[in-house]
Amino acid sequence: MSRSAPYCHTPSAIAPVLWLTGVRGAGKSRIASGVQVRLVAFGAQAVVLDGDTIRSGLSEDLGYDPDAQTENIRRIAHCADLLSRQAVIPIVVAIAPLASHRRLAREIIGDAYFEIFVDTPPPVDPTSARSPHTQDDPGRVAQLADGFDRYERPGRPDLVVSRFDLSTIDAIETIMRRVPPVLWISEPDEAASTGKAAGLDLGRDPMRKLPLSN
Share of the chain above pLDDT 90, in %: 44
Beta bridge partners of residue 161, listed in sequence order = 118
Q: With bands split at pLDDT 50, 70 and 90, how would you rate the model's confidence at 12?
A: low
Domains of the chain, by residue range, sit at 1-15+182-214, 17-179
76-100: per-residue pLDDT in tens?
A: 999 999 999 998 999 999 999 999 9
Distance CA 113, CA 81 (A): 9
Note whether 183 and 212 are within 8 A (CB). Answer: yes
Q: Tell me, which fold does domain 17-179 have in CATH?
A: Rossmann fold (3.40.50)
Say whether 159 sits in a helix, a strand or coil: strand
Distance CA 208, CA 192 (A): 9
| Length of the chain counted residue by residue | 214
Note whether 159 and 170 are within 8 A (CB). Answer: no
The amino acid sitting at 147 is: G
